[in-house]
Structure 1
Protein backbone atom coordinates (compact mmCIF):
# COMPACT_ATOMS: atom_id res chain seq x y z
CA UNK A 1 0.00 0.00 0.00
CA UNK A 2 0.99 3.67 -0.35
CA UNK A 3 0.79 6.65 2.02
CA UNK A 4 -0.45 9.87 0.39
CA UNK A 5 0.48 13.43 1.42
CA UNK A 6 -1.48 16.49 0.22
CA UNK A 7 -0.19 20.00 0.90
CA UNK A 8 -3.01 22.52 1.29
CA UNK A 9 -3.86 26.15 1.88
CA UNK A 10 -7.37 27.41 1.11
CA UNK A 11 -8.31 24.47 -1.09
CA UNK A 12 -11.99 24.12 -0.19
CA UNK A 13 -12.97 24.05 -3.88
CA UNK A 14 -10.70 21.13 -4.78
CA UNK A 15 -9.86 19.04 -1.72
CA UNK A 16 -13.03 16.90 -1.71
CA UNK A 17 -12.55 15.81 -5.34
CA UNK A 18 -8.93 14.92 -4.61
CA UNK A 19 -9.79 12.92 -1.47
CA UNK A 20 -12.65 11.15 -3.28
CA UNK A 21 -10.06 9.61 -5.58
CA UNK A 22 -8.04 8.19 -2.66
CA UNK A 23 -10.49 5.74 -1.12
CA UNK A 24 -8.13 2.88 -2.06
CA UNK A 25 -5.58 3.77 0.66
CA UNK A 26 -6.09 3.99 4.42
CA UNK A 27 -3.21 6.39 5.04
CA UNK A 28 -3.92 9.88 3.68
CA UNK A 29 -2.31 12.96 5.28
CA UNK A 30 -3.36 16.56 4.69
CA UNK A 31 -0.61 18.99 5.72
CA UNK A 32 -2.22 22.42 5.92
CA UNK A 33 -0.33 25.71 6.08
CA UNK A 34 -2.91 28.07 7.53
CA UNK A 35 -6.16 27.76 5.60
CA UNK A 36 -8.85 30.23 6.66
CA UNK A 37 -11.59 28.59 4.57
CA UNK A 38 -13.27 25.17 4.93
CA UNK A 39 -10.29 23.11 3.71
CA UNK A 40 -9.50 21.53 7.08
CA UNK A 41 -13.14 20.89 7.94
CA UNK A 42 -13.73 19.15 4.61
CA UNK A 43 -10.58 17.06 5.00
CA UNK A 44 -11.59 15.99 8.50
CA UNK A 45 -14.97 14.86 7.16
CA UNK A 46 -13.09 12.31 5.03
CA UNK A 47 -11.48 10.82 8.13
CA UNK A 48 -7.94 11.56 6.95
CA UNK A 49 -5.07 12.69 9.16
CA UNK A 50 -4.77 16.50 9.25
CA UNK A 51 -1.62 18.29 10.43
CA UNK A 52 -0.55 21.92 10.35
CA UNK A 53 2.76 23.58 9.64
CA UNK A 54 3.62 27.13 8.44
CA UNK A 55 4.57 27.24 4.77
CA UNK A 56 8.09 28.33 3.77
CA UNK A 57 8.47 26.69 0.37
CA UNK A 58 7.28 23.60 -1.45
CA UNK A 59 10.57 21.78 -1.04
CA UNK A 60 10.80 22.49 2.70
CA UNK A 61 7.12 21.61 3.24
CA UNK A 62 7.54 18.27 1.50
CA UNK A 63 10.67 17.49 3.53
CA UNK A 64 8.86 18.44 6.74
CA UNK A 65 6.10 16.00 5.83
CA UNK A 66 8.64 13.23 5.24
CA UNK A 67 10.34 13.94 8.58
CA UNK A 68 7.42 14.65 10.89
CA UNK A 69 4.28 12.86 9.71
CA UNK A 70 3.61 9.36 11.02
CA UNK A 71 3.46 7.56 7.70
CA UNK A 72 2.13 4.02 7.71
CA UNK A 73 3.77 2.73 4.53
CA UNK A 74 7.24 2.74 2.99
CA UNK A 75 6.00 4.18 -0.32
CA UNK A 76 4.82 7.79 -0.31
CA UNK A 77 2.88 9.71 -2.96
CA UNK A 78 2.68 13.51 -2.96
CA UNK A 79 -0.40 15.15 -4.47
CA UNK A 80 -1.71 18.69 -4.79
CA UNK A 81 -5.31 19.41 -3.83
CA UNK A 82 -6.23 20.20 -7.46
CA UNK A 83 -5.07 16.78 -8.65
CA UNK A 84 -7.12 13.60 -9.01
CA UNK A 85 -6.00 9.97 -9.15
CA UNK A 86 -7.38 7.92 -12.03
CA UNK A 87 -8.00 4.16 -11.77
CA UNK A 88 -5.25 3.56 -14.33
CA UNK A 89 -2.73 5.65 -12.40
CA UNK A 90 -3.69 3.90 -9.15
CA UNK A 91 -3.27 0.47 -10.71
CA UNK A 92 0.17 1.31 -12.11
CA UNK A 93 1.61 2.84 -8.93
CA UNK A 94 0.42 -0.11 -6.84
CA UNK A 95 1.97 -2.59 -9.26
CA UNK A 96 5.19 -0.59 -9.72
CA UNK A 97 5.81 -0.19 -6.00
CA UNK A 98 4.96 -3.84 -5.36
CA UNK A 99 7.36 -5.04 -8.08
CA UNK A 100 10.14 -2.50 -7.37
CA UNK A 101 13.58 -3.91 -6.63
CA UNK A 102 15.74 -2.73 -3.75
CA UNK A 103 17.60 -0.21 -5.91
CA UNK A 104 14.44 1.74 -6.83
CA UNK A 105 14.18 5.00 -4.87
CA UNK A 106 11.10 6.45 -6.53
CA UNK A 107 9.21 7.35 -9.67
CA UNK A 108 8.51 10.32 -11.87
CA UNK A 109 4.81 10.88 -12.53
CA UNK A 110 2.97 12.91 -15.17
CA UNK A 111 -0.42 14.59 -15.41
CA UNK A 112 -3.17 15.47 -17.81
CA UNK A 113 -3.69 19.25 -17.69
CA UNK A 114 -7.45 19.82 -17.74
CA UNK A 115 -9.20 23.05 -18.81
CA UNK A 116 -12.94 23.39 -19.40
CA UNK A 117 -13.22 19.61 -19.38
CA UNK A 118 -10.56 19.22 -22.07
CA UNK A 119 -7.18 17.53 -21.82
CA UNK A 120 -4.53 19.95 -23.11
CA UNK A 121 -2.25 17.23 -24.42
CA UNK A 122 -0.46 19.36 -27.02
CA UNK A 123 -0.45 22.78 -25.36
CA UNK A 124 1.02 21.40 -22.14
CA UNK A 125 3.65 19.32 -23.94
CA UNK A 126 2.51 16.00 -22.48
CA UNK A 127 4.12 14.20 -20.75
CA UNK A 128 5.72 16.50 -18.19
CA UNK A 129 7.45 14.63 -15.40
CA UNK A 130 7.64 15.45 -11.71
CA UNK A 131 9.12 13.44 -8.88
CA UNK A 132 6.08 12.53 -6.77
CA UNK A 133 6.38 8.89 -5.65
CA UNK A 134 9.25 7.81 -3.42
CA UNK A 135 10.39 5.19 -0.98
CA UNK A 136 10.75 6.35 2.61
CA UNK A 137 14.28 7.51 3.44
CA UNK A 138 15.52 7.28 -0.14
CA UNK A 139 14.98 10.83 -1.45
CA UNK A 140 14.51 14.47 -0.49
CA UNK A 141 13.25 17.63 -2.20
CA UNK A 142 14.93 20.93 -2.95
CA UNK A 143 13.38 24.24 -4.04
CA UNK A 144 13.62 25.54 -7.58
CA UNK A 145 11.60 28.53 -8.71
CA UNK A 146 8.10 28.41 -7.24
CA UNK A 147 8.18 24.63 -6.99
CA UNK A 148 10.54 21.85 -6.12
CA UNK A 149 12.52 19.00 -7.62
CA UNK A 150 14.13 15.81 -6.37
CA UNK A 151 17.28 15.88 -4.23
CA UNK A 152 19.63 13.39 -2.55
CA UNK A 153 18.36 10.37 -4.42
CA UNK A 154 19.56 7.04 -3.04
CA UNK A 155 18.97 4.65 -5.93
CA UNK A 156 17.37 4.70 -9.36
CA UNK A 157 14.22 6.50 -10.50
CA UNK A 158 11.56 5.01 -12.75
CA UNK A 159 8.53 6.36 -14.58
CA UNK A 160 4.78 5.94 -14.07
CA UNK A 161 3.39 6.19 -17.59
CA UNK A 162 -0.33 6.50 -16.76
CA UNK A 163 -1.15 10.13 -15.80
CA UNK A 164 -3.26 11.62 -13.04
CA UNK A 165 -5.54 14.62 -13.68
CA UNK A 166 -4.49 18.19 -12.90
CA UNK A 167 -7.17 20.89 -12.56
CA UNK A 168 -4.89 23.91 -12.29
CA UNK A 169 -7.64 26.34 -13.38
CA UNK A 170 -10.39 25.12 -11.04
CA UNK A 171 -10.46 28.40 -9.07
CA UNK A 172 -10.79 30.56 -12.18
CA UNK A 173 -8.44 32.66 -14.28
CA UNK A 174 -8.27 35.55 -11.80
CA UNK A 175 -6.81 33.29 -9.14
CA UNK A 176 -4.51 31.58 -11.66
CA UNK A 177 -3.11 34.90 -12.89
CA UNK A 178 -2.63 36.23 -9.35
CA UNK A 179 -0.88 33.01 -8.34
CA UNK A 180 1.41 32.99 -11.35
CA UNK A 181 2.25 36.64 -10.83
CA UNK A 182 3.60 35.61 -7.42
CA UNK A 183 5.31 32.58 -8.89
CA UNK A 184 7.05 34.71 -11.51
CA UNK A 185 9.13 36.44 -8.83
CA UNK A 186 10.45 33.12 -7.55
CA UNK A 187 11.03 31.85 -11.08
CA UNK A 188 12.94 35.02 -11.98
CA UNK A 189 15.22 34.63 -8.97
CA UNK A 190 15.84 30.96 -9.69
CA UNK A 191 16.57 31.45 -13.38
CA UNK A 192 18.83 34.42 -12.69
CA UNK A 193 20.73 33.32 -9.59
CA UNK A 194 20.41 29.52 -9.64
CA UNK A 195 20.72 28.84 -13.33
CA UNK A 196 21.44 25.13 -13.91
CA UNK A 197 24.55 24.03 -15.76
CA UNK A 198 24.22 24.18 -19.54
CA UNK A 199 24.92 20.42 -19.70
CA UNK A 200 21.65 19.79 -17.86
CA UNK A 201 19.82 20.70 -21.08
CA UNK A 202 20.85 17.27 -22.36
CA UNK A 203 19.94 15.35 -19.20
CA UNK A 204 17.72 12.32 -19.85
CA UNK A 205 15.41 13.24 -16.96
CA UNK A 206 13.01 16.04 -17.89
CA UNK A 207 12.74 17.26 -14.29
CA UNK A 208 16.43 18.19 -14.61
CA UNK A 209 16.32 19.14 -18.29
CA UNK A 210 13.26 21.45 -18.24
CA UNK A 211 14.48 23.90 -15.53
CA UNK A 212 17.77 24.17 -17.44
CA UNK A 213 15.99 24.80 -20.74
CA UNK A 214 13.79 27.49 -19.18
CA UNK A 215 16.77 29.20 -17.54
CA UNK A 216 18.71 29.40 -20.81
CA UNK A 217 15.89 29.97 -23.32
CA UNK A 218 14.52 32.98 -21.45
CA UNK A 219 17.68 34.85 -22.46
CA UNK A 220 16.63 34.64 -26.11
CA UNK A 221 15.15 37.86 -27.55
CA UNK A 222 11.38 37.57 -27.81
CA UNK A 223 11.25 34.35 -25.78
CA UNK A 224 7.63 34.81 -24.49
CA UNK A 225 6.39 35.10 -28.08
CA UNK A 226 8.49 32.11 -29.13
CA UNK A 227 7.00 30.19 -26.21
CA UNK A 228 3.54 30.87 -27.62
CA UNK A 229 4.53 29.90 -31.16
CA UNK A 230 6.06 26.63 -29.99
CA UNK A 231 3.06 25.59 -27.87
CA UNK A 232 0.28 26.78 -30.17
CA UNK A 233 1.66 26.04 -33.63
CA UNK A 234 4.66 23.69 -33.52
CA UNK A 235 3.20 21.61 -30.68
CA UNK A 236 -0.26 21.61 -32.37
CA UNK A 237 -1.98 23.43 -29.53
CA UNK A 238 -4.38 24.96 -32.06
CA UNK A 239 -6.04 21.53 -32.29
CA UNK A 240 -7.36 22.06 -28.75
CA UNK A 241 -9.64 24.93 -29.67
CA UNK A 242 -10.33 27.97 -27.55
CA UNK A 243 -9.07 26.38 -24.28
CA UNK A 244 -5.77 25.67 -26.01
CA UNK A 245 -5.42 29.23 -27.28
CA UNK A 246 -6.23 30.71 -23.86
CA UNK A 247 -3.73 28.42 -22.19
CA UNK A 248 -0.92 29.20 -24.64
CA UNK A 249 -1.49 32.97 -24.36
CA UNK A 250 -1.38 32.86 -20.57
CA UNK A 251 1.71 30.67 -20.43
CA UNK A 252 3.46 33.12 -22.76
CA UNK A 253 2.31 35.95 -20.48
CA UNK A 254 3.77 34.07 -17.50
CA UNK A 255 7.12 33.87 -19.29
CA UNK A 256 6.87 37.60 -20.05
CA UNK A 257 6.35 38.35 -16.34
CA UNK A 258 9.40 36.27 -15.47
CA UNK A 259 11.53 38.06 -18.06
CA UNK A 260 10.63 41.58 -16.91
CA UNK A 261 11.16 40.62 -13.26
CA UNK A 262 14.59 39.24 -14.14
CA UNK A 263 15.31 42.59 -15.79
CA UNK A 264 14.12 44.36 -12.66
CA UNK A 265 16.34 42.21 -10.43
CA UNK A 266 19.35 42.97 -12.63
CA UNK A 267 18.67 46.70 -12.46
CA UNK A 268 18.33 46.62 -8.68
CA UNK A 269 21.56 44.66 -8.34
CA UNK A 270 23.40 47.12 -10.58
CA UNK A 271 22.00 50.07 -8.64
CA UNK A 272 23.14 48.54 -5.34
CA UNK A 273 26.62 47.98 -6.76
CA UNK A 274 26.81 51.60 -7.94
CA UNK A 275 25.64 52.89 -4.57
CA UNK A 276 28.15 50.66 -2.81
CA UNK A 277 31.01 52.05 -4.93
CA UNK A 278 29.87 55.65 -4.31
CA UNK A 279 29.95 55.18 -0.56
CA UNK A 280 33.57 54.07 -0.56
Structure 2
Protein backbone atom coordinates (compact mmCIF):
# COMPACT_ATOMS: atom_id res chain seq x y z
CA UNK A 1 0.00 0.00 0.00
CA UNK A 2 1.36 3.42 -0.99
CA UNK A 3 1.86 5.94 1.78
CA UNK A 4 0.43 9.44 1.61
CA UNK A 5 3.44 10.64 -0.37
CA UNK A 6 6.19 8.46 -1.74
CA UNK A 7 8.67 8.07 -4.58
CA UNK A 8 9.77 4.92 -6.34
CA UNK A 9 11.27 3.60 -9.56
CA UNK A 10 8.46 3.04 -12.04
CA UNK A 11 7.86 -0.33 -13.67
CA UNK A 12 6.52 -1.17 -17.14
CA UNK A 13 3.06 -1.62 -15.59
CA UNK A 14 3.10 2.10 -14.69
CA UNK A 15 3.25 3.16 -18.35
CA UNK A 16 -0.27 4.54 -18.70
CA UNK A 17 0.02 6.62 -15.53
CA UNK A 18 3.41 7.98 -16.64
CA UNK A 19 2.08 8.89 -20.09
CA UNK A 20 -0.81 10.75 -18.45
CA UNK A 21 1.67 12.91 -16.50
CA UNK A 22 3.78 13.55 -19.61
CA UNK A 23 0.66 14.51 -21.56
CA UNK A 24 -0.08 17.38 -19.17
CA UNK A 25 2.68 19.49 -20.76
CA UNK A 26 3.33 17.99 -24.20
CA UNK A 27 5.72 20.72 -25.37
CA UNK A 28 7.94 20.94 -22.29
CA UNK A 29 7.91 17.15 -21.89
CA UNK A 30 8.53 16.24 -25.54
CA UNK A 31 12.02 14.81 -24.93
CA UNK A 32 11.01 12.41 -22.17
CA UNK A 33 7.62 11.62 -23.72
CA UNK A 34 9.22 10.64 -27.05
CA UNK A 35 11.53 8.21 -25.28
CA UNK A 36 8.79 6.68 -23.16
CA UNK A 37 6.42 6.31 -26.11
CA UNK A 38 9.16 4.52 -28.07
CA UNK A 39 10.68 2.39 -25.30
CA UNK A 40 8.18 2.13 -22.46
CA UNK A 41 9.51 2.13 -18.89
CA UNK A 42 11.87 -0.83 -19.01
CA UNK A 43 15.24 0.69 -17.97
CA UNK A 44 17.24 -1.26 -20.56
CA UNK A 45 15.13 -0.02 -23.45
CA UNK A 46 14.55 3.44 -21.99
CA UNK A 47 18.22 4.06 -21.31
CA UNK A 48 17.62 4.94 -17.68
CA UNK A 49 15.18 4.75 -14.80
CA UNK A 50 11.96 6.68 -14.48
CA UNK A 51 11.31 7.88 -10.95
CA UNK A 52 7.77 8.61 -9.88
CA UNK A 53 6.34 10.78 -7.12
CA UNK A 54 2.96 9.87 -5.68
CA UNK A 55 0.53 12.01 -3.71
CA UNK A 56 -2.50 10.29 -2.16
CA UNK A 57 -1.71 7.22 -4.23
CA UNK A 58 -1.72 9.12 -7.53
CA UNK A 59 1.34 9.58 -9.75
CA UNK A 60 1.86 13.35 -10.07
CA UNK A 61 5.55 13.93 -10.98
CA UNK A 62 8.34 12.13 -12.82
CA UNK A 63 12.10 12.31 -13.14
CA UNK A 64 13.99 10.64 -15.98
CA UNK A 65 17.39 9.43 -14.76
CA UNK A 66 19.55 8.42 -17.70
CA UNK A 67 22.29 10.25 -19.61
CA UNK A 68 20.35 13.34 -18.51
CA UNK A 69 18.47 13.95 -15.29
CA UNK A 70 15.13 15.50 -16.29
CA UNK A 71 12.38 16.55 -13.84
CA UNK A 72 8.87 16.30 -15.33
CA UNK A 73 5.88 18.20 -13.91
CA UNK A 74 7.84 18.16 -10.66
CA UNK A 75 6.28 19.78 -7.60
CA UNK A 76 8.56 21.17 -4.85
CA UNK A 77 7.97 18.04 -2.74
CA UNK A 78 8.76 15.82 -5.71
CA UNK A 79 11.95 17.74 -6.44
CA UNK A 80 13.15 17.13 -2.88
CA UNK A 81 12.39 13.42 -3.17
CA UNK A 82 14.16 13.19 -6.54
CA UNK A 83 17.19 15.04 -5.14
CA UNK A 84 17.37 12.60 -2.21
CA UNK A 85 17.27 9.64 -4.59
CA UNK A 86 19.85 11.22 -6.91
CA UNK A 87 22.23 11.85 -3.99
CA UNK A 88 21.94 8.23 -2.89
CA UNK A 89 22.59 6.79 -6.34
CA UNK A 90 25.39 9.24 -7.16
CA UNK A 91 25.83 11.22 -10.36
CA UNK A 92 25.60 9.08 -13.49
CA UNK A 93 24.33 11.76 -15.88
CA UNK A 94 26.20 14.27 -18.04
CA UNK A 95 23.62 17.00 -17.47
CA UNK A 96 20.51 18.07 -15.59
CA UNK A 97 17.99 19.69 -17.92
CA UNK A 98 14.35 20.64 -17.71
CA UNK A 99 11.92 23.46 -16.92
CA UNK A 100 13.88 26.23 -15.24
CA UNK A 101 12.08 26.37 -11.88
CA UNK A 102 12.20 22.71 -10.83
CA UNK A 103 15.64 22.24 -12.42
CA UNK A 104 17.07 25.18 -10.47
CA UNK A 105 15.72 23.77 -7.20
CA UNK A 106 16.98 20.27 -8.05
CA UNK A 107 20.46 21.67 -8.70
CA UNK A 108 20.38 23.75 -5.50
CA UNK A 109 19.79 20.56 -3.54
CA UNK A 110 22.33 18.49 -5.47
CA UNK A 111 25.16 20.98 -5.90
CA UNK A 112 26.73 20.37 -2.46
CA UNK A 113 27.30 16.69 -3.31
CA UNK A 114 27.40 16.77 -7.13
CA UNK A 115 29.11 20.10 -7.78
CA UNK A 116 30.82 21.90 -9.18
CA UNK A 117 29.19 21.92 -12.62
CA UNK A 118 31.23 22.64 -15.71
CA UNK A 119 28.60 25.17 -16.77
CA UNK A 120 25.14 26.29 -15.66
CA UNK A 121 22.76 27.79 -18.22
CA UNK A 122 20.08 29.12 -15.95
CA UNK A 123 17.69 30.61 -18.52
CA UNK A 124 17.13 29.00 -21.92
CA UNK A 125 13.95 30.36 -23.52
CA UNK A 126 11.51 27.67 -24.66
CA UNK A 127 9.96 28.74 -27.96
CA UNK A 128 7.06 27.28 -29.96
CA UNK A 129 5.10 27.76 -33.16
CA UNK A 130 2.27 25.94 -34.87
CA UNK A 131 2.33 27.68 -38.26
CA UNK A 132 4.57 28.71 -41.11
CA UNK A 133 5.86 32.31 -41.22
CA UNK A 134 4.16 34.71 -43.64
CA UNK A 135 7.29 36.55 -44.74
CA UNK A 136 10.12 33.97 -44.75
CA UNK A 137 10.37 31.72 -47.79
CA UNK A 138 11.66 28.24 -46.90
CA UNK A 139 15.08 27.52 -48.39
CA UNK A 140 14.36 25.19 -51.34
CA UNK A 141 17.85 23.66 -51.04
CA UNK A 142 17.34 22.39 -47.49
CA UNK A 143 16.43 18.70 -47.71
CA UNK A 144 16.47 15.46 -45.77
CA UNK A 145 19.92 13.96 -45.29
CA UNK A 146 20.19 10.59 -47.02
CA UNK A 147 21.37 7.45 -45.27
CA UNK A 148 24.47 7.34 -47.50
CA UNK A 149 25.47 10.85 -46.37
CA UNK A 150 26.55 10.06 -42.80
CA UNK A 151 30.16 10.98 -43.59
CA UNK A 152 28.94 14.32 -44.90
CA UNK A 153 26.72 15.26 -41.96
CA UNK A 154 28.79 13.92 -39.04
CA UNK A 155 31.57 16.57 -39.11
CA UNK A 156 28.93 19.31 -39.04
CA UNK A 157 27.11 17.60 -36.14
CA UNK A 158 30.36 17.25 -34.19
CA UNK A 159 31.27 20.90 -34.84
CA UNK A 160 27.82 22.08 -33.71
CA UNK A 161 27.87 19.96 -30.54
CA UNK A 162 31.39 21.03 -29.61
CA UNK A 163 30.58 24.70 -30.18
CA UNK A 164 27.30 24.47 -28.27
CA UNK A 165 28.23 22.25 -25.32
CA UNK A 166 31.93 23.00 -24.98
CA UNK A 167 33.19 19.41 -25.24
CA UNK A 168 33.42 17.02 -28.18
CA UNK A 169 30.78 14.29 -28.47
CA UNK A 170 33.61 12.01 -29.59
CA UNK A 171 35.18 12.01 -26.13
CA UNK A 172 34.81 8.96 -23.93
CA UNK A 173 33.49 6.22 -26.20
CA UNK A 174 34.99 7.60 -29.40
CA UNK A 175 31.62 8.96 -30.41
CA UNK A 176 29.81 5.63 -30.79
CA UNK A 177 26.67 6.70 -28.91
CA UNK A 178 26.58 10.10 -30.61
CA UNK A 179 27.08 8.62 -34.07
CA UNK A 180 24.33 6.08 -33.40
CA UNK A 181 21.97 8.91 -32.42
CA UNK A 182 22.74 10.88 -35.60
CA UNK A 183 22.29 7.72 -37.67
CA UNK A 184 18.91 7.20 -36.00
CA UNK A 185 17.80 10.73 -36.91
CA UNK A 186 19.05 10.37 -40.49
CA UNK A 187 17.38 6.97 -40.82
CA UNK A 188 14.06 8.30 -39.57
CA UNK A 189 14.13 11.27 -41.97
CA UNK A 190 14.58 13.86 -39.22
CA UNK A 191 18.00 15.24 -40.23
CA UNK A 192 18.07 18.18 -42.65
CA UNK A 193 20.85 20.09 -44.41
CA UNK A 194 21.79 22.36 -47.26
CA UNK A 195 25.04 21.45 -49.00
CA UNK A 196 27.29 23.71 -51.12
CA UNK A 197 28.57 22.82 -54.57
CA UNK A 198 31.45 20.90 -53.01
CA UNK A 199 29.14 18.74 -50.90
CA UNK A 200 29.95 20.51 -47.63
CA UNK A 201 27.23 21.32 -45.11
CA UNK A 202 26.23 25.00 -45.12
CA UNK A 203 23.20 24.72 -42.80
CA UNK A 204 21.82 21.83 -40.77
CA UNK A 205 19.23 21.03 -38.12
CA UNK A 206 17.43 17.98 -36.77
CA UNK A 207 13.97 17.23 -35.46
CA UNK A 208 15.00 15.48 -32.25
CA UNK A 209 12.28 14.57 -29.79
CA UNK A 210 8.97 13.83 -31.50
CA UNK A 211 5.54 12.80 -30.27
CA UNK A 212 2.15 13.00 -32.00
CA UNK A 213 1.50 16.28 -30.16
CA UNK A 214 4.83 18.12 -30.30
CA UNK A 215 8.36 17.91 -31.65
CA UNK A 216 11.59 19.73 -30.95
CA UNK A 217 14.09 21.17 -33.43
CA UNK A 218 17.70 20.84 -32.28
CA UNK A 219 21.24 21.10 -33.57
CA UNK A 220 20.68 24.24 -35.65
CA UNK A 221 24.03 25.21 -37.17
CA UNK A 222 25.43 27.34 -39.97
CA UNK A 223 29.00 26.69 -41.10
CA UNK A 224 31.24 29.56 -39.91
CA UNK A 225 32.19 30.61 -43.45
CA UNK A 226 28.51 30.99 -44.36
CA UNK A 227 27.36 32.94 -41.32
CA UNK A 228 25.90 36.40 -41.84
CA UNK A 229 24.58 35.49 -45.29
CA UNK A 230 20.93 35.02 -44.35
CA UNK A 231 20.86 31.22 -44.43
CA UNK A 232 19.47 30.57 -40.95
CA UNK A 233 15.92 31.93 -41.21
CA UNK A 234 15.03 30.32 -44.60
CA UNK A 235 16.73 27.12 -43.43
CA UNK A 236 14.70 27.07 -40.23
CA UNK A 237 11.53 27.77 -42.22
CA UNK A 238 12.30 24.75 -44.41
CA UNK A 239 12.82 22.46 -41.41
CA UNK A 240 9.67 23.88 -39.81
CA UNK A 241 7.68 23.04 -42.95
CA UNK A 242 8.84 19.42 -42.79
CA UNK A 243 8.10 19.27 -39.06
CA UNK A 244 4.54 20.61 -39.32
CA UNK A 245 3.72 18.52 -42.38
CA UNK A 246 5.23 15.20 -41.31
CA UNK A 247 5.84 15.10 -37.55
CA UNK A 248 3.64 17.13 -35.17
CA UNK A 249 1.23 20.09 -35.05
CA UNK A 250 3.39 22.06 -32.60
CA UNK A 251 7.13 22.64 -33.03
CA UNK A 252 9.40 23.77 -30.20
CA UNK A 253 13.04 24.48 -29.43
CA UNK A 254 15.04 25.98 -26.62
CA UNK A 255 17.93 28.36 -27.01
CA UNK A 256 20.61 29.94 -24.83
CA UNK A 257 19.50 33.36 -23.64
CA UNK A 258 22.88 34.84 -24.60
CA UNK A 259 22.55 33.68 -28.23
CA UNK A 260 20.96 36.89 -29.50
CA UNK A 261 21.31 36.13 -33.25
CA UNK A 262 19.61 32.74 -32.87
CA UNK A 263 16.75 34.15 -30.79
CA UNK A 264 16.22 36.88 -33.39
CA UNK A 265 16.17 34.29 -36.19
CA UNK A 266 13.66 32.08 -34.41
CA UNK A 267 11.37 35.04 -33.75
CA UNK A 268 11.55 35.98 -37.45
CA UNK A 269 10.41 32.47 -38.35
CA UNK A 270 7.46 32.83 -35.97
CA UNK A 271 8.61 31.13 -32.78
CA UNK A 272 7.42 32.76 -29.56
CA UNK A 273 8.70 32.31 -26.01
CA UNK A 274 6.40 30.31 -23.73
CA UNK A 275 8.72 29.42 -20.85
CA UNK A 276 12.32 28.61 -20.03
CA UNK A 277 14.55 25.60 -19.58
CA UNK A 278 17.71 25.30 -17.53
CA UNK A 279 20.75 23.10 -18.18
CA UNK A 280 23.49 22.06 -15.78
CA UNK A 281 26.46 20.59 -17.68
CA UNK A 282 29.07 18.34 -16.06
TM-score, structure 2 length as denominator? Answer: 0.26
Which gives a bigger RCO, structure 1 or 2 (Cα 8 Å, sep 6+)?
A: 2
Higher helix share: 1
TM-score, structure 1 length as denominator? Answer: 0.26
Higher strand share: 2
